[in-house]
Structure 1
């Protein structure tokens, strides 16, 4: 994070290239050295580069990111359009003081930048330069390149250590002719897009396609009448993502195992659950709540890989979606794969079929009306949580993973903050499994946010006319398991009652299970089950199909999604 004392955040972003907003014609600086880059992507002279292209340099041996120096991209007329500063300039007076995460190779992105119809964006920290083997990859700020436009790239000599182009060390890339390319024209279709990291496509990144969908009129078509599909070809897409007010969009992977969307993002790196803003937040906060780790800006974009706001009928199918953050015992490691922040009574539908959602703490945070089918969800602490009206997880595997920060605990599957008067979370069939290392009897079906968090709202049905449900108006502990196979990692008591839940179980709300099974399919013995605040005898027949669970959608019109 590059901060200059006494400057506003807006001025800081302009001066450092954060969010890619340099603008205007800027004199070309004198580079450290100039060399003809023979092994770069896009190749020099390319006339069909992608608007969302990654910049890549192939070295003769593994390069090292030094934490010093700058990468710049110019239009062919000399206008500076993006700056990546890889140095570590931490201000210790009146600003960022953290050292736990390191400040080198860290930039602020403005996701959604370039979408003219947006007035709010997702602001996050990200790591712009990465190395895998002999290849260094540079991710520019979102939306800084335009279609059908010529550019040149300069890279300071000090950015990398490593043999390049037959030289003993990286000589730098300078001037206006050494590394040039031109982007191709915009796609012709607004409803069918292809994303591929290395083959013929419309975009190289998923966010590039999402930006295009948001920019081509879909902000004015929030009904279900305009279906759109983004097809993700096999490959790995490492990026933070943002989608706002788009309806009837399907993101379809080429294969469940071979198409991987991922990123390492977590509470200490990007504090908060997240949301869009017109400008980035300028409040400093302690890293992960620990004052000893120092402070950094809480920009507002949050810790999820994907932030979704508004819209209806978003469908994900047939790929792997992962938050790759590895938990750290000294930090707050909440790290969602998805934060689905859409909560209206007549919209806000989310579908996931044949998916892998891989995470640890807080994997899926959902609102609205959610159906997850034939999928795998992994995590350890509260990895299924949120504020839904109704969320059905059907014919799926919920896998508890080993938590290295608390190896003796299997954690908790659910923390429900559902809306009063609606079904909340319902698991239909499927299985609760555990990865290697998770102790038997150590995981719980759910834990409560606590009765004090309900603030009395769990005694009154929540009714919304539109907009996003406020988190403080929920926290109702409604979770039901129906016909679910449960492995030996589940504690005999089943439910964790410290603190106690804010609802007592009935046929329509609270903590309940019915027809629980062993992994082999026999009736599960329930000796030792919690019976004061949970029930294994309540009649759950009113919730035993997805159509019944979603019967209240849209003024009781109901919703029965299909695979």
Structure 2
């Protein structure tokens, strides 16, 4: 009886410890904080914590290949200044055995991750091929006021049935620079194309109702090299991408979408728009296999519905 009671008490103490808020950690490159690298601060966070661990990152350039492992849950990274707090690396596919999946500058595997006021960057360059700045496998990951900067394959939303939310973020790249299988919402974000290519390459599973959803975003180009850009092409046949109330610059091609040189994808890809505006919004000239949503259909694109399911999530 006493042994059982002691076991229960120890279990309760362990649960309380896991739920206890973790003191804020500070990262500063000049040594004035608790750690000089972001990775060292992440490593110091208790495993499988049920409480948020806040890591405040001072301005500076952090050249490190950062990993937030699956055991590091509820980690929050807050930068001092979005444009001057930069986590960066330069790996790319084909270098020293690296492929797309391992080319990341930052890899997020721990669920319930949050990031604010940070830049995630890959500087491999435009001719390097696939070079991921931010690779996310975590469920319930939130990014606010962040910059995600690279060239090909900038943002990899890798895992099906995971959910990510991006609010007021700046995302730029060249080819397929937002790609993967997750359900992700981009809310009031700026999406910048740097050359003629494709913005998205979704690989949404056919049974997953939502893929990438862009809400009230601004699509623009930062160079004369981007004058013929598609809204997306299907990495997998059931790719799901929707743009709602977005402002499209003149760099968006009239046809809107691309079938990745496979007409069979036209039967299965789920591509839609609702009330696009700007010079790139030409609904009458879109490919016949894409859709213009009705008002009733558009009302279904709420965070509650998109991030619903057996374990609903409300990121706000």
Same fold (TM over 0.5): yes
- Flag as ranges the 4+ runs of structure 1 deviating above 6 A: none
The one-character-per-residue Cα deviations of 1:10-34 (angstroms, maximum 9, x if unpaired) are xxxxxxxxxxxxxxxxxxxxxxxxx
The one-character-per-residue Cα deviations of 1:417-470 (angstroms, maximum 9, x if unpaired) are 113232111111111100122342x1000012254xxxxxxxxxxxxxxxxxxx
Q: Is the 8 A contact 1:362 1:379 kept in 2?
A: yes
SS at match of 1:418: coil
Partner of 1:255: 81
Distance 2:81 2:168 in 1: 14
Partner of 1:536: 292
Distance 2:30 2:171 in 1: 28
Distance 1:379 1:205 in 2: 26
For residues 49-60 of structure 1, the aligned pairs below 5 Å read none
For residues 415-434 of structure 1, the aligned pairs below 5 Å read 415-419=201-205, 420-434=207-221
Distance 1:537 1:192 in 2: 45
The one-character-per-residue Cα deviations of 1:92-116 (angstroms, maximum 9, x if unpaired) are xxxxxxxxxxxxxxxxxxxxxxxxx
Consecutive unaligned residues of structure 2, counting only runs of 5 or more, are 1-20
Q: 1:541 to 1:236 in 2, by over 3 A?
A: same
Partner of 1:394: 187
For residues 74-223 of structure 1, the aligned pairs below 5 Å read 190-213=22-45, 217-218=46-47, 220-221=48-49
Tell me whether 1:477 sits opposite 2:271 in the alignment: no
Q: Is the 8 A contact 1:433 1:486 kept in 2?
A: yes
Distance 1:272 1:354 in 2: 29
Query: Aligned residue pairs: how many?
Result: 288
Q: 1:549 to 1:235 in 2, by over 3 A?
A: same
Q: Is the 8 A contact 1:380 1:413 kept in 2?
A: yes
Consecutive unaligned residues of structure 1, counting only runs of 5 or more, are 1-188, 275-301, 343-347, 403-409, 452-475
Q: 1:364 to 1:337 in 2, by over 3 A?
A: same
Partner of 2:233: 447
SS at match of 1:207: helix
- Answer 1 or 2: which has greater helix percent: 2
Tell me whether 1:369 sits opposite 2:163 in the alignment: yes
Partner of 2:105: 305
For residues 245-394 of structure 1, the aligned pairs below 5 Å read 245=70, 246-269=72-95, 270-274=97-101, 302-309=102-109, 311-328=110-127, 333-342=129-138, 348-366=139-157, 367=159, 368-388=162-182, 390-394=183-187
SS at match of 1:211: helix
Distance 2:133 2:148 in 1: 7
SS at match of 2:43: helix
Distance 2:77 2:291 in 1: 38
Tell me whether 1:545 sits opposite 2:302 in the alignment: yes
Distance 1:501 1:203 in 2: 52
Distance 2:303 2:117 in 1: 21
Distance 1:211 1:515 in 2: 45
TM-score of the two chains, using structure 2 as the length reference? 0.85
Q: Is the 8 A contact 1:450 1:501 kept in 2?
A: no
The one-character-per-residue Cα deviations of 1:509-555 (angstroms, maximum 9, x if unpaired) are 70111110116xxx933232101x21124553244322221122xx0
Distance 2:307 2:203 in 1: 17
Distance 2:92 2:281 in 1: 37
Match among 478, 484, 488 for residue 250 of structure 2:
488
Distance 1:190 1:559 in 2: 23
TM-score of the two chains, using structure 1 as the length reference? 0.49
